[in-house]
Amino acid sequence: MKTLGIILIIAGIAMIVIRGFSVKTEKKVADLGPLEVNKTENRWVGWPTYAGGIVAVIGLVLVLSDRKK
């Protein structure tokens, strides 16, 4: 449990610092035989800052509860 707690702490801190990331998606607009029209879009995948704090606190609880045993 201690290892999982440390991983969650690191992930929580990363989620606080990095608030999301951009993903490129390609959509097919039209397909007319040999002619194909595609559109590239940038989509933002983000999460609220407090979610990183919650993940870090859960990791801290796991590390501290493992220490007591």
60: confidence class by pLDDT, cuts 50, 70, 90: very high
4: confidence class by pLDDT, cuts 50, 70, 90: very high
3-state secondary structure 2-62: HHHHHHHHHHHHHHHHCCEEEEEEEEEEEEECCEEEEEEEEEEEECCHHHHHHHHHHHHHH
Q: What is the DSSP letter of 63?
A: H
Q: Is the pLDDT of residue 69 over 70?
A: no
Tell me the per-residue pLDDT of 15-55, one tens digit each, with 9 for 90 and over: 999 989 999 999 888 888 888 899 999 999 999 989 999 99
The amino acid present at 10, given as its one-letter code, is I
Residue spans of the domains in the chain: they are 2-68
Q: Is the pLDDT of residue 59 over 70?
A: yes
The pTM of the full predicted model, rounded to 2 decimals, is: 0.70
